């Protein structure tokens, strides 16, 4: 961990909804002084380390949730005054004789406390970048905010440790030397600590075991839990679960979409709908389960103009709209895939993608009723759109188009690309979610007659029939 002149400083640059606040609160609970004799940590691995008793409840901690605003907050002054006055009040309660002068700056008060008592503080700042998502705060005021953090934290003898969480990279938003004392660790690009940014398989195994032993009738399998919430990748390639969604599913005893939209989501959609560098076309491939080759960096939508495809994908990874591994971005699980399906079915500004997705309801009904004429019309409609991806140059592109044509089927079917699932005998299998529905098999062929596709399905699914159809 790098050091400023006086204190270590680290920033946890973690994806949204991956437990930043929980981690910050846990650190505060561990280091912070308390009168309680028992500890939440006694039965954990950390209790077996040499430093456990040295640091447990031995430090003066200042914890600030920077995402909170005063009631009816409409200006930067309202926002920053609440933070400063709140800290001054807390310090006055702890050091009444040394922090009584509210006219002094916050850092001067802290400096005075240190000089008189030698007390140093651990600063834990959660959601340091919240101001960049507040519509009422201007760019000039964002600069004032960075200066406030600099005055409070940089090169201050009273700061023993500074730990900050957020989703925006400090280096990109602190253009000068305001916060250059921080070392940043992020989930997508940093190998150190990356496995701690979500739930590993072994951890979810244990949680599911508790779930099985707690409920009378489990409502879903361990495999279902993985399909819904697994698939995020760390820089080392380890798969991670979205911890919030996994915990809520086990607590509620229900598999559903716990992912929620936010301001950054809408900002990124602005770039998608403008079809910058064919992002819109890539949505077809992504929702088919394909991976898109790209490079990513520390770019986010707020406060920064995104002008390249790589920058847009970087922002989408930061906001958990995609995951990234080995030079590729992709949709990690069903929870996110459902959000993309919702996007395609509701955003008419997506143009041909939206129009084709809306046809999917009709396509499914036509398939179930053997209405081949309607099916042909919809496929012809797809072929006649303006997208280059709909040229049917290969089976990957054809699969992507067919997937979009059956987008609405996901409400009633679990759809798998069989080559990606490791089965490989047909291109798509639609597993019905309701007993009364028929299973659907799709075998795609380019420049081949339909009889060849039927032959392949019968031969591989029903080997005993091979002699009969021969």
pLDDT per residue as tens digits for the range 41-85: 988 889 999 899 899 999 999 999 999 888 888 899 999 999 999
Q: Which position has the higher pLDDT, 393 or 445?
A: 445
The pLDDT of residue 469: 40
Which of 19-33, 224-238, 398-412 bottoms out in mean pLDDT, i.e. has the lowest?
398-412
Q: Is residue 68 located within the same domain as residue 181? A: yes
The pLDDT of residue 390: 59
Is residue 244 in some structural domain? yes
Per-residue b or e along 213-226, where b marks 16 or more CB atoms closer than 10 Å to that residue's CB:
eeeeeeebebebbb
User: What CATH number corresponds to the domain at position 144?
Assistant: 3.40.50
Q: Is residue 18 located within the same domain as residue 107? A: yes
Last residue of a domain, one of 357, 390, 411: 411
The pLDDT of residue 465: 42
Is residue 98 in some structural domain? yes
3-class SS string, 80-143:
HHHHHHHHHHHHHHHCCCCCCCCCCCHHHHHHHHHHHHCCCEEEEEECCCHHHHCCCCCHHHHH
Q: Is residue 148 located within the same domain as residue 234? A: no
Structure tokens at 429: 């299998």
pLDDT at 112 over 90: yes
Q: Is residue 227 located within the same domain as residue 151? A: no
Is residue 464 in some structural domain? no
Phi then psi for 148, rounded to 5 degrees?
-60, -45
Is residue 454 in some structural domain? no
Last residue of a domain, one of 387, 411, 435: 411
pLDDT per residue as tens digits for the range 181-203: 888 777 666 777 777 778 899 99
Phi then psi for 418, rounded to 5 degrees?
-70, -30
Is residue 430 in some structural domain? no
Q: What is the mean pLDDT of the chain?
A: 82
Q: Is residue 217 located within the same domain as residue 291? A: no
Is residue 418 in some structural domain? no
Q: Is residue 275 located within the same domain as residue 401? A: yes
pLDDT at 9 over 60: no
What pLDDT band is residue 13 in, cutting at 50, 70 and 90?
A: very low
Is residue 68 in some structural domain? yes
Q: Is residue 235 located within the same domain as residue 275? A: no
Q: Is residue 276 located within the same domain as residue 233? A: no
3-class SS string, the chain:
CCECCCCEEEEEECCCCCCHHHHHHHHHHHHECCCCCCCCCCCCHHHHCCCHHHHCCCEEEEEEECCCCCCCCCCHHHHHHHHHHHHHHHHHHHCCCCCCCCCCCHHHHHHHHHHHHCCCEEEEEECCCHHHHCCCCCHHHHHHHHHHHHHHHCCCCCEEEEEEEECCCHHHHCCCCCCCCCEEEECCCCCCCHHHCCECHHHHHHHHHHHHHHCCCCCCCHHHHHHHHCCEECCCCCEEECHHHHHHHHHHCCCCCCCCCCHHHHHHHHHHHCCHHHHHHHHHHHCCCCCEECCCCCCCCCCCCCCCHHHHHHHHHHCCCCEEECCEEECCCHHHHHHHHHHHHHCHHHCHHHHHHHCHHHHHHHHHCCCHHHHHHHHHHHHCCCCHHHHCCCHHHHHHHHHHHCHHHHHCEEEEECCCCCCCCCCEEEEECCCCCCCEEECCCCCCCHHHHHHHHHHHHCHHHHHHHC
Q: Is residue 227 located within the same domain as residue 273? A: no
Is residue 462 in some structural domain? no
Question: Considering just the CA atoms, what is the radius of gyration of the chain in Å?
Answer: 27
Q: Which position has the higher pLDDT, 171 or 348?
A: 348
Q: Is residue 64 located within the same domain as residue 178? A: yes
Range of the domain at 373: 263-411
pLDDT per residue as tens digits for the range 258-311: 877 666 667 677 777 776 667 877 888 888 888 999 988 766 666 567 778 888
Q: Is residue 379 located within the same domain as residue 402? A: yes
Looking at the DSSP assignment, which residues form a beta bridge with residue 460?
Answer: none
Last residue of a domain, one of 162, 186, 210: 186
Count of structural domains, the chain: 3
pLDDT per residue as tens digits for the range 399-435: 777 888 888 888 888 887 765 544 545 578 888 888 8
Q: Is residue 151 located within the same domain as residue 96? A: yes
The pLDDT of residue 467: 41
Which of 34-38, 70-74, 113-117 bottoms out in mean pLDDT, i.e. has the lowest?
34-38
């Amino acid at each position: 961990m790098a050091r400023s002149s006086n204190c270590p400083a680290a920033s946890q640059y973690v994806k949204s909804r991956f437990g930043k606040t929980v981690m910050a609160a846990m650190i505060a609970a561990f280091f912070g002084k308390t009168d309680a004799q028992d500890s939440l940590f006694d039965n954990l691995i950390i209790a077996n380390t040499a430093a456990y008793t040295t640091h447990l409840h031995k430090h003066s901690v200042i914890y600030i949730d920077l995402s909170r605003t005063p009631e009816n907050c409409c200006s930067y002054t309202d926002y920053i005054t609440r933070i400063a006055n709140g800290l001054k009040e807390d310090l006055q309660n702890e050091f009444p004789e040394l922090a009584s002068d509210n006219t002094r700056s916050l850092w001067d008060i802290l400096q005075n406390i240190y000089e008189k008592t030698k007390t140093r503080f651990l600063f834990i700042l959660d959601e340091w970048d919240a101001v960049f998502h507040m519509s009422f705060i201007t760019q000039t005021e964002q600069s004032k905010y960075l200066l406030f953090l600099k005055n409070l934290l940089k090169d201050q003898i009273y700061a023993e440790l500074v730990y900050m969480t957020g989703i925006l990279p400090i280096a990109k938003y602190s253009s000068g030397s305001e916060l250059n004392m921080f070392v940043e660790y992020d989930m997508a690009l940093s190998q150190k600590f990356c496995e701690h940014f979500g739930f590993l398989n072994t951890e979810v195994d244990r949680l599911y075991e508790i779930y099985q032993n707690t409920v009378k009738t489990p409502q879903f399998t361990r495999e279902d839990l993985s399909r819904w919430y697994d698939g995020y990748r760390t820089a080392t390639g380890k798969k991670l679960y979205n911890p919030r969604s996994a915990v809520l599913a086990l607590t509620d005893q229900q598999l559903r979409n716990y992912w929620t939209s936010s301001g950054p989501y809408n900002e990124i959609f602005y770039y998608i709908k403008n079809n910058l560098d064919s992002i819109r076309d890539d949505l077809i491939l992504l929702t088919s389960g394909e991976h898109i080759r790209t490079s990513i960096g520390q770019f986010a939508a707020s406060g920064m103009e995104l002008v390249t495809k790589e920058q847009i994908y970087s922002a989408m990874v930061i906001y958990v709209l995609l995951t990234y591994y080995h030079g590729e971005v992709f949709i990690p699980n069903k929870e996110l895939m459902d959000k993309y399906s919702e996007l395609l079915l509701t955003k008419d500004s997506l143009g041909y993608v939206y129009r084709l997705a809306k046809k999917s309801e009709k396509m499914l009904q036509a398939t179930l009723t053997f209405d081949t004429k309607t099916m042909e019309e919809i496929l012809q409609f797809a072929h006649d759109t303006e997208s280059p991806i709909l040229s049917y140059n290969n089976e990957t592109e054809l699969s992507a188009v067919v997937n979009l044509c059956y987008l609405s089927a996901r409400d009633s079917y679990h759809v798998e690309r069989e080559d990606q699932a490791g089965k490989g005998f047909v291109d798509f299998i639609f597993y019905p979610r309701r007993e009364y529905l028929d299973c659907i098999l799709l075998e795609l062929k380019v420049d081949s007659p339909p009889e060849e596709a039927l032959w392949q399905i019968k031969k591989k699914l029903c080997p005993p029939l091979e002699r009969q159809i021969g």
